[in-house]
Amino acid sequence: MKLEQGQKLLFIGDSITDCERAKPEGEGLFNALGKGYVSYIDALLQAVYPELGIRVVNKGISGHTVRDLQNRWQEDVLDQHPDWLSIMIGINDVWRQYDTPFIKDWHVLIDEYETTLRKLIDETKPFVKEIVLMTPFYIENNVNDYMRKTMDEYGQVVKKIAEETNCLFVDTQAAFNVVLQDLYSATLAWDRVHPSAAGHMVLTRAFLKEIDFNWNR
C-alpha cells in the first residue's frame, strides 16, 4: 500500500466529493466525511489498515468548478498541509455548458480548465508527497451523447496532466463503464452525475486500486 504511517489524505472537489460533509472542516465523527466515496475510503482504511492511522479530510463543495477550487486553494489545501492530495473536479465545468447554456459566465471551457488545474498542481507538488488526479465522469453508456463526449475530453486533459506532472491517475469513467455493461445508468445515478451508494463504491474501488490497497489483507 502506497499510503504510509500517520499520513494525512485530503480530498477536494465538487458535490460528488462533498456528499453532505461537515462544514467548514470535513473530518471527525458523525458523518463529518459525508456519505460518499471519501467516507468509504476512510472506513476501509481504518478497517483494513488500522495500524497506519491515516487521517482523512474532505474539502469537497457542491457546485464547484476548477475556478472555485483556485479561489479557495490556499485555505483548503495548502494551509491544511496534507501528505496526499486527491483532486476530482470537472463535472460542473462541463455540466453548466449544458444545463445553463445561456449563462456563459458559469462555463469553464477546456482551455481554462487545463490551465487552472495544471497551475494548482504545479504550485502544490513541492509541498505534498503524492497527488491523485481523478477524472470527471458522466454515467452514460452512449459515448456520442454530447455531455458524455465533452466529459471524456476533460478526462483526457486530466490524464495528460497526470502523465506530465507525475501524478497518480484514476480513470473514473473507465471504472463506471465496466459496471454500465450490466446496469442501466439510472441504477447508478438518477441524473447520471450524482452516484448511488453503489456508484460511490465504484469510485472507492478505483481509488483504492491505484494506491495498491490489499483487499485480501
Examine the residue annotation and report whether 191 is marked as an active-site residue of this protein. yes
Nearest to 66 by CA among 156, 137, 154, 193: 154
Nearest to 153 by CA among 177, 135, 129: 135
CB-based burial label for 210 (10 Å; 0-12, 13-18, 19+): middle
Contact 39, 31 (CB under 8 A): yes
Nearest to 95 by CA among 86, 106, 87: 106
Nearest to 78 by CA among 28, 27, 123: 123
Residue from 81, 99, 122, 191 carrying the catalytic annotation: 191
Residue from 14, 15, 42, 185 carrying the catalytic annotation: 15
Residue from 62, 83, 194, 196 carrying the catalytic annotation: 194
Residues with catalytic function: 15, 191, 194
